[in-house]
Amino acid sequence: MKRALILAAISVPALAHAHPGLHTAGFTDGAIHPWAGLDHLAAMVAVGLWAVQRGSRALWALPLAFLGAMFGGFLLGANGVSLPAVEPVILASGILLGLAVCGAVRAPLWASLATCALFGVFHGHAHGTEAGGTASLASYAAGFLAATALLHAIGVRCGIGLSNVGRHAWIRGLGAGAAACAAISAWI
């Protein structure tokens, strides 16, 4: 009986954790994480949509800027470097990138790259700080970078598909939807 009580007592903290077992196994957990929040999903798909709206070099440059900066932010977070207001900036990224798509914002390429990179740093930092006890940081990073690239590609593919059939207003509607999803995520 005493052993059963001890076992139950040491199991309770694991059950109380919001995501038990997450961030411990490597690639799979890294790949799951970007799909786990509306704010992450909204921002990452919006990067792909905005890249299509911008066209030309932005089609590949915006997603790569986000991914590269995200990896840099991951390294900062994994090494204990703190950044201010990480969660509010992540929330703002989904809203602002969605609004950029909704408004078909044609900022200079350098400004669009800087925007994507800035938001990428904060998304990566969140992954880095949450990876604390991960068995393999490299594997975990590969997982979330691959998932993020896939979300960017989904945005790009949707944007190209809608552009090819003249549905530019629908792309803008997806941007509004991304902004709304990110805003809603603040309350759930």
Determine phi and psi for 126, rounding to 5 degrees: -60, -45
106 belongs to a structural domain: yes
Identify the CA nearest to 22 among candidates 9, 37, 38.
37
Confidence of residue 19 (pLDDT cuts 50, 70, 90): very low
Show the tokens assigned to 114.
Answer: 């800087």
Tell me the average pLDDT across 72-93: 96
pLDDT of residue 131: 81
Q: Which residue has the higher pLDDT, 10 or 185?
A: 185
54 belongs to a structural domain: yes
What is the distance between the alpha carbons of residues 61 and 174, in angstroms, rounded to a whole number? 21
83 belongs to a structural domain: yes
Number of domains in the chain: 1
177 belongs to a structural domain: yes
Predicted TM-score (pTM) of the model is 0.85
**54: pLDDT strictly greater than 70:** yes
Question: Whole domain around residue 58: which residue ranges?
Answer: 25-185
Q: What is the DSSP string of 55-74?
A: -TTHHHHHHHHHHHHHHHHH
Confidence of residue 45 (pLDDT cuts 50, 70, 90): very high
**135: pLDDT strictly greater than 90:** no
4 belongs to a structural domain: no
DSSP reduced 3-state for 12: helix
135 belongs to a structural domain: yes
**39: pLDDT strictly greater than 70:** yes
